[in-house]
Amino acid sequence: MNPNPYSDDIAHIRSIMEKSSRFLSLSGWAGILPGIYALIGLTLGLFMMRDARSSPAFSSDYSLSNPLFVKIILLALAVLILSLLTSWIACMRKARQNQQSTWTPAIRNMLFYFSIPLVTGGIILIWVMSREYTGLIAPVMLSFYGLALIQASHFTIRSIFWLGLIEIALAVPAGISGFGIPALALGFGVAHIVYGALQLKNVPS
């Protein structure tokens, strides 16, 4: 088939549509580093719990009057904030390298639709914890985070969809007693690191 101007036109149209509706500068580091933070955070959390259990003042009370509970919540929030900041910096750096704008309708849409399930999950998590349904913490975190990724996948690299599906699938075993923390380690730690590494391999930045 000899190259004709019409197929060039179509290719041009496709590329503009893609560029203008999706944020494609998702950096692999935005997966790897938060994955590592999550694993470190979980390990620290386990150590804190072990230390607390061996002390005579241990209480398994899930209220803000229990210092262990407060410490673990603060640790989780620190991991979340650090992860969001790192991902943001990594993506913005990559966008600048690709000479793409760092504040486009695609990025705004991606963040907006990503945050809706995340905030919803956060609200439910507060209720779950205040009623001491601790066994539901891991499945709620994994499933709502998975939904957030699936929403975001409409506005960025499509393969994020599969990462979202994996997170939701992990919410199934996460509800079984004793499987919560391993599921969190797999979903937030290992899955992110593997996905990020694959991303780096596909598109060297």
Question: Is the Cβ of residue 12 or residue 53 nearer to another protein in the bound state?
Answer: 12
Name the maximum alpha-carbon separation found in the chain.
81
**Does residue 97 bind another protein (CB under 8 A)?**
no
**Does residue 57 bind another protein (CB under 8 A)?**
no
d(CA 187, CA 190): 6
Token representation of residue 102: 């760092």
Binding-site member from 46, 74, 105, 112 for another protein (CB under 8 A): 105
CB-count exposure of residue 142 (10 Å: 0-12, 13-18, 19+): buried
Q: Residue 142: what residue type?
A: L
- φ/ψ of 101, rounded to 5, equals -65, 145
Number of residues forming the site for another protein (CB under 8 A):
19
Token representation of residue 203: 């598109």
Question: How many CA within 13 A on the CB side of residue 159?
Answer: 13
Binding-site member from 13, 119, 123, 126 for another protein (CB under 8 A): 13
Binding-site member from 49, 89, 104, 157 for another protein (CB under 8 A): 104
For tokens 């209480």, the residue is: 59
**Cα-only R_g, the chain:** 20
Question: Is the Cβ of residue 12 or residue 158 nearer to another protein in the bound state?
Answer: 12
**Does residue 16 bind another protein (CB under 8 A)?**
yes
Stretch that binds another protein, among 14-22, 41-49, 66-74, 194-202 (CB under 8 A): 14-22
Q: Shortest gap between Cβ of 89 and another protein (angstroms)? A: 21
Binding site for another protein (CB under 8 A): 1-2, 4, 6-7, 9-10, 12-14, 16-17, 19-21, 100-101, 104-105
